[in-house]
Structure 1
Amino acid sequence: MRVCIYGAGASGGHFAVRLALAGHQVSVIARGSHLAAIRENGLQLKTGEGTLSGNVAASDTPADFGEQDVVIVAAKATALPGIAPHIGPLVGRDTQVVFPQNGMTWWYPIGLPDTHPKPPAIPVFELARPFLAAMRGDQVIGGIIYSANEVESPGVIKNNSPTHNRLEIAAIAASSPAQVAALSNLREALEDSGILSPDPGDIRAAVWTKLVNNMSGSALGLATRSPSDGARKDKAMSEIYRRIMREGLSIAAAHGYPLDIDPDRMLKRLLDHKASILQDYEQGRPMEIAEIVLAPLAFARSAGIATPTLDTVAAIVTKLAKDKGLVAADLEVAL
């Protein structure tokens, strides 16, 4: 299978090495010192198994690789506006394009059942126009990543969840039998490479499940500058975590996705790992505040749901990000 990983950072680099070692023809789109290191030494992955090395082709120019069977856009949501105009050369008539970003996703309204409430107009939805200029809606595959990774140094990825690495994928709209078969083949390829890939069923319910987790554990980790499991180790933070999660569950249900999630059970599963949004804050990278924290607030407002705890945490983390210039200066919390 010809697979291009667009954005070979933490999670993308992990997938690239695994798929390459499983025998697939893997290319990666990277840049800067990370790209230079991959070209010189290959892509390295540190795991509980030791250090693995993947033989991947690397470039900062998608046209160098041509049409692929699969493109996994593993960059963060903040990078998507810069990717949309350049992804076209990788996409053929039968290419599957996987978007596994955290937070609310650009494709959410596409194919949304008519029985569900209309979502609010938020900035990330504006990316539908440039992406759909390069691909059809039935080529878009939604993705949910459960894997803790970080770029330890240029060309070197460290996996911090050796027994917990999963990429759930599903089509966002009705697919032909051939596309269903291709999606099944991709799940099999991921499983064979050591990445769990169960069928999540309704992909939008899966998005809400991950989003409710991120807007609670990840947002609190950012607000307190601590690993996600810090919310479990402090009694007061544990209660705040539960409150945010309950608010998130109410938002999801109001928009047609009632979730069977127990906040106490999720609290126990928090990892001793800095969430990607905290890693971005500490390393001075653009932050997914809008997609992970402010988007659910917009959905709450459109449904008339009160979210006092999330309101407070959203105001705190937005100010943290704005003070470091890691989000747009005009980004506002709609309280």
Structure 2
Amino acid sequence: MRICIFGAGAIGGLMAARLAQSGAAEVTVIARGPHLAAMQAHGLRLRSGGEEIVARPRAVGSAAEAGPQDYVVITLKAHSLPGVAEAMQPLLGPATAIVSAVNGIPWWYFHRHGGPFDGRAVESVDPGGKLLRALPPERAIGCIVYPAAEVVEPGVIAHTYGDRFSLGEPDGSRSDRVNRLSQTLIAAGFKAPVRPRIRDEMWVKLWGNLAFNPVSALTMQTLDVLTGEPELRAVCRAMMVEAQAIGEALGIRFGIDVDRRIAGAAEVGAHRTSMLQDLERGRPMEIDALLGVVVEFAELLDLPAPTCRTVLALVRARARAAGCYP
């Protein structure tokens, strides 16, 4: 089995290192700059659980060097994807599956969704349907990422916690391709359940991200403050209640209530959200895939989302002022 990790940063590097070390697949990573150079020279070092392993996936700088794959796992941030979709074409053979391990709502969301929006492009993450054309949604497998990891220096990944990558076909089927991928990830030491309703799990993860990420960027506060300070908690909770109504109108089943979801976030402690980290480092922020899309769906459904709309306007302005809005 040939698996390519496109954008082998923290999460992609974690997956690549474990897959390559296990021998469960022929692994290629696509990266750039000092990170790529370090992997080519010294291998990919993974620090996890007090131990360090050195894996040696094939490390290249372009899709053309990698060639056609059985699976392409995309671990880029959502706003980066439209700019590289055409460059990914050499990876795609007749039966290549594209695994979208990307935060937020993916470009293929309405593929085989059913109902009035079936097949529709998600403009917040795929303006004009460019990704639907370049990365056909019938190739897509959903992937919800739970591990936390960081690139601590070029070629070195520090894995903090988590080992689950939930998988699912857009139509809910247990296809041979999703089962094979699940088995391969399990052989590499991960939990990789195949979910019949992958969008439900997608929304439960999004539920916290759509609120805590932008509010953290606006206030420069960590997760413990957002969940513990009553006024900030109330803002986040209002956003989540609005989003739940939107998700349920699209057929989503939330397996927990909003206060349990907030309590789960509080247990993480003094965590700096990814959006806050991006703001501090001057990098593009994942605003549209996490919150812009929720407001887009509210407009499609003609549902109110006043708190989400307000926070979206404020965080976009904050990001533009910092040069962090792609």
TM-score for the superposition, normalised by structure 2:
0.90
**Paired AA for residue 220 in structure 2:** R
Identity of matched residues, %: 34
Q: CA deviation at 1:173?
A: 4.0
- Give yes or no for contact 2:17–2:54 (8 Å, CA) kept in 1: yes
Per-residue deviation, residues 178-208 of structure 1 (Å, max 9, x unmatched)? xx12211111111222222112222222322
Q: CA deviation at 1:128?
A: 4.5
**Paired AA for residue 45 in structure 1:** L
Going from structure 1 to structure 2, the CA distance change for 1:119 and 1:38 (only over 3 Å counts) comes to: same
The whole-number CA distance in structure 2 between the counterparts of 1:307 and 1:213 is 16
Per-residue deviation, residues 81-127 of structure 1 (Å, max 9, x unmatched)? 12210112112122221012112211112222026688686242347
What is the match of residue 273 of structure 2? 275
- Give yes or no for contact 2:13–2:44 (8 Å, CA) kept in 1: yes
How many residue pairs were aligned? 322
The whole-number CA distance in structure 2 between the counterparts of 1:190 and 1:98 is 12
What is the match of residue 7 of structure 1? 7
**Paired AA for residue 321 in structure 1:** A
Q: Aligned match of 2:294 in 296, 300, 303?
A: 296
2:87 is paired with a residue of what secondary structure?
coil
What is the match of residue 205 of structure 2? 210
What is the match of residue 75 of structure 1? 76
TM-score for the superposition, normalised by structure 1:
0.88
Q: CA deviation at 1:322?
A: 0.7
Per-residue deviation, residues 20-61 of structure 1 (Å, max 9, x unmatched)? 111122111001111112112211222224222221111111
Shifted more, 147-156 versus 1-10: the winner is 147-156
**Paired AA for residue 125 in structure 2:** V
The whole-number CA distance in structure 1 between the counterparts of 2:16 and 2:118 is 37
2:277 is paired with a residue of what secondary structure?
helix
Q: CA deviation at 1:224?
A: 2.4
What is the match of residue 191 of structure 2? 196
Going from structure 1 to structure 2, the CA distance change for 1:169 and 1:128 (only over 3 Å counts) comes to: farther
The whole-number CA distance in structure 2 between the counterparts of 1:267 and 1:121 is 27
Q: CA deviation at 1:285?
A: 1.6
CA RMSD in angstroms, aligned pairs only: 2.3
Unaligned runs of 5+ in 2: none
Q: CA deviation at 1:242?
A: 1.9
- Give yes or no for contact 1:137–1:173 (8 Å, CA) kept in 2: no
Going from structure 1 to structure 2, the CA distance change for 1:274 and 1:36 (only over 3 Å counts) comes to: same
1:264 is paired with a residue of what secondary structure?
helix
Going from structure 1 to structure 2, the CA distance change for 1:315 and 1:63 (only over 3 Å counts) comes to: same
1:296 is paired with a residue of what secondary structure?
helix
Going from structure 1 to structure 2, the CA distance change for 1:53 and 1:228 (only over 3 Å counts) comes to: farther
What is the match of residue 97 of structure 1? 98
The whole-number CA distance in structure 1 between the counterparts of 2:118 and 2:99 is 25
